[in-house]
Structure 1
Amino acid sequence: MGCAKRFRTIKMTMNKKLIKLFVLLFFVSGVGYADVPTKQVKEVKHLLSFVRDSGCIINRNGSEYPSAKGVKHIQRKYDYFRDDIKSTEDFIELAATKSTMSGKYYTVTCPGKEKIKTQDWLLTELKRFREN
């Protein structure tokens, strides 16, 4: 076998081994999204629907948003903090409680009701959901 052909054979063998190594490392390292425990995914989905369908006004950093826009922001924060969320309460704390930039608490105003912190509003709804 000539030198060039032998070199190509060695190179192909090395490439296959490297690919196998990367695939193995990918699965062993646990790369991917973490999330709330499986049994609590239903709770998070319920809370997102609850916000979206509430018809309330969400206040973030002094600006008001309809619930449909507010839930999009909460969903983006949920996606960002997935690796840190281990419970539905963590979801509320990290994605729907306050601004990570300003530290100001989010509030919600629902028709015919007083303004309340979104954290308190969602914890109350979570409790109601768990009791049913």
Structure 2
Amino acid sequence: MSRSRYTSTFLQGTRIALIAIAVGMTITTEAGEARPVVQAEINSLLNRLETSGCGFNRNGTWYSGIEAKSHMLAKLHYIESRTALQNTEQFIELAATRSSVSGKPYVVKCGNGPGEPSATWLTKQLQSLRGARPGGSDSTSGPAALEHP
């Protein structure tokens, strides 16, 4: 192989490697705590669950809101040790939707009504939180309201 052909192949390979690194850096998120607004929304959601009086079903066993909050906080800490959550919906998806052991969905049941998937219940609560704060329609517009409706 001629020197110019070798140099050209080397430069092309280097260019591809640099592009791959750049793309990887934009996709990969470092571990750490979520942004303050996201943290406030997550805390508000977990406080709502804790004080709702609703039951929380995980792997076929019913737990109180206090126990549900404790479990989800443990999952949150685990997730944050590996990545930074970009929004509250990501928390719901990764930590509050299903058991990471069995894959079974979590269920929230309030009163005598039917249970609903925890993701549905939490998303409704998140929409309520965002609607309760001035100008709040997404997780970037300011701190979430901390009051239960």
TM-score by length of 2: 0.64
Looking at CA atoms only, which structure, 1 or 2, has the larger radius of gyration? 1
More RCO (CA 8 Å, sep 6+): 2
Identity within the alignment, %: 34
Question: Whole-Å Cα distance in 1 between the matches of residues 65 and 119 of structure 2?
Answer: 15
| 2:10 counterpart residue number | none
**How far has the Cα of 1:78 moved from its partner?**
0.5
| 1:50 counterpart residue number | 48
Question: Whole-Å Cα distance in 1 between the matches of residues 106 and 84 of structure 2?
Answer: 20
Contact 2:54–2:108 under 8 Å retained in 1 = yes
**How far has the Cα of 1:119 moved from its partner?**
0.4
The DSSP-based 3-state class of the residue aligned with 1:93 is helix
**How far has the Cα of 1:35 moved from its partner?**
2.0
Contact 1:107–1:118 under 8 Å retained in 2 = yes
Structure 1, 65-74 or 83-92: larger mean CA deviation:
83-92
* CA deviation vs aligned residue, 1:58-79 (integer Å, no higher than 9, x gap): 0001011111111110110011
Between Structure 1 and Structure 2, the one with more helix by share is 1
Question: Are residue 95 (structure 1) and residue 95 (structure 2) matched?
Answer: yes
The AA in structure 1 aligned to 2:62 is: E
Contact 1:47–1:122 under 8 Å retained in 2 = yes
CA RMSD of aligned residues (A): 1.5
| Deviation >4 Å, runs of 4+ | none
Question: Whole-Å Cα distance in 2 between the matches of residues 77 and 115 of structure 1?
Answer: 22
Any unmatched runs of 5+ in structure 2? 1-29, 133-149
Any unmatched runs of 5+ in structure 1? 1-31
The DSSP-based 3-state class of the residue aligned with 2:68 is helix
* CA deviation vs aligned residue, 1:76-126 (integer Å, no higher than 9, x gap): 001100125221011111111001111110001111321000000000100
Question: Whole-Å Cα distance in 1 between the matches of residues 34 and 90 of structure 2?
Answer: 8
Contact 1:97–1:119 under 8 Å retained in 2 = yes
Q: How many residues align?
A: 101
Question: Whole-Å Cα distance in 1 between the matches of residues 57 and 84 of structure 2?
Answer: 24
The AA in structure 1 aligned to 2:107 is: T
